[in-house]
Structure 1
Amino acid sequence: MNISEVAKASGVSAEMVRQYEESGLIRLATRSGSNYRTHSQNDVEVLRFVKHARTLGFPMKQIAMARAMG
């Protein structure tokens, strides 16, 4: 999926997808032959988790720790 498809499927803006990628909350996207970001369905699920956790008021540091624990 490209970044706009992932953003739409997860409910997170494309800019936030980039930010979460840069901060390490989601894995770095693979790149297509034309250098577009390519994300998986797992990335969508992680983004949904992050969005939900942020809605509940968890700080990014705690979300990152929860992700690291599994």
Structure 2
Amino acid sequence: MDFELFFMGLGLIFIGFLMYLYIRGQRPSSEKTGWEGPTITAYVQFWGGLILCIFLGIVFILKSLPTHI
């Protein structure tokens, strides 16, 4: 088992979780929100980064597992 990849994967999943905690209550700026909050492009980029962190974390964890049992 490659522990370096495993802990990198855990770190990426943890970062994704922290990003989710930050963005979960926010909405993109619009007339409904009184133009408060991030712009729509920043909002979409943030969600893209969050999904990428979680996906790469899962890939690194799976890659760290031994190839044979």
TM norm structure 2: 0.29
More strand by share: 1
More helix by share: 2
Q: Which has the larger radius of gyration?
A: 2
